[in-house]
Structure 1
Amino acid sequence: MRKSPEQDVFDWFFKLSLNNGYDTYDYLPPEKEKVSYPFVYIGNVQGVPDATKTELVGSVYLNIDVWGTRKQRLTINQMVERFFHASIGYTKTPNFQYYGQPNQQSKRMQLDTSVPNTVLMRGLLEIKLNIL
């Protein structure tokens, strides 16, 4: 059985992150688990299927967070940009083909104080890919 479009997109971006040398997680590491900054968290994925008489179409949404220290803002921004540009245009995997339009992607940078006595920089990217 082949992968679902959601798992396919998740795996493609996870592999892209690893291939770029980023520490990459499929969960947000707890505070007591010591990790190096910056790191990538590839998390929430959602499929919105549609179908024709002969094939599956629709969209896949994926959230990617890049976490680092305040001083790593430029590095985090560059990492977010790499994922942003990878989400634009045609993406072909062994299972499906996708298309991402620039105006369907969302990115932002924000300070995060959810860890006590720590100010982190967080880059957030929301990706939408249309299944072709």
Structure 2
Amino acid sequence: MATKSPQQQIYDAVFSASLNLGFDTYDYLPADSADYPFVFVGEQMNSDRRTKRFLYGEVHQTVHVYAIQRNGEQPQGTNRAAFMGMIDELKVEMRKIKRTDNFKIIEQGINDQILLDTSTSTALLHGVVEVHFLFH
């Protein structure tokens, strides 16, 4: 079996970090019937360089967090503090990623934003977390 690319190894580490936190985690946007909140480990932008002896590069990984926005009519929704707590927990775990099977990993920065998502009949909170990793 061929060794996984460093990009796939980083993706897998991020995915595992979310699962280890106990979050429902997907590599696709699940059907509307999925339970909220959930995490979708999504887009990845990669660049790598090879020298005669080494492969090194960068990975920008995007992680999405979705939750039902709680309001007076939806007491079962997620309040903003709990939603932000999920995002913070993910960020802490992604900062702990230091190594994959074949590469050393350095987290170079994390950006996040909170969006209100009205693309469904239920108002959602949509967190977008962008993580910049270096590997060597």
What is the distance in 2 between the residues matched to 1:18 and 1:119? 25
Query: Is residue 49–residue 57 contact of structure 1 (8 Å, CA) maintained in 2?
Result: yes
Please report the RMSD computed on the Cα atoms of aligned residues, expressed in angstroms.
Answer: 1.5
Query: Is residue 5–residue 47 contact of structure 1 (8 Å, CA) maintained in 2?
Result: no
- 1:1-132 aligned at under 5 Å gives the runs 1-31=2-32, 34-71=33-70, 72=78, 73-88=80-95, 91-101=98-108, 104-115=109-120, 117-132=121-136
Identity %: 33
Alignment: residue pair count: 127
What is the distance in 1 between the residues matched to 2:107 and 2:97? 7
Give secondary structure in 2 for the equivalent of 1:91.
coil
CA-CA distance at 1:82 after TM superposition: 1.7
Show CA shifts across 1:15-37 (max 9, x none): 11111111111101133xx1111
What is the distance in 1 between the residues matched to 2:6 and 2:57? 9
AA at the equivalent of 2:25: T
AA at the equivalent of 1:51: R
Give secondary structure in 1 for the equivalent of 2:59.
strand
AA at the equivalent of 1:37: Y
Structure 1 length-normalised TM: 0.88
Give secondary structure in 1 for the equivalent of 2:98.
strand
Structure 2 length-normalised TM: 0.85
Give secondary structure in 2 for the equivalent of 1:12.
helix
Unpaired runs of 5+ in structure 1?
A: none
Moved runs in structure 1, 4+ residues, more than 2 A? 85-90
What is the distance in 2 between the residues matched to 1:100 and 1:47? 14
What is the distance in 2 between the residues matched to 1:89 and 1:67? 23
What is the distance in 2 between the residues matched to 1:74 and 1:97? 34
Q: Which of structures 1 and 2 has the bigger CA Rg?
A: 2
With over 3 angstroms needed to count, the CA separation of the structure-2 counterparts of 1:87 and 1:78, relative to structure 1, is same
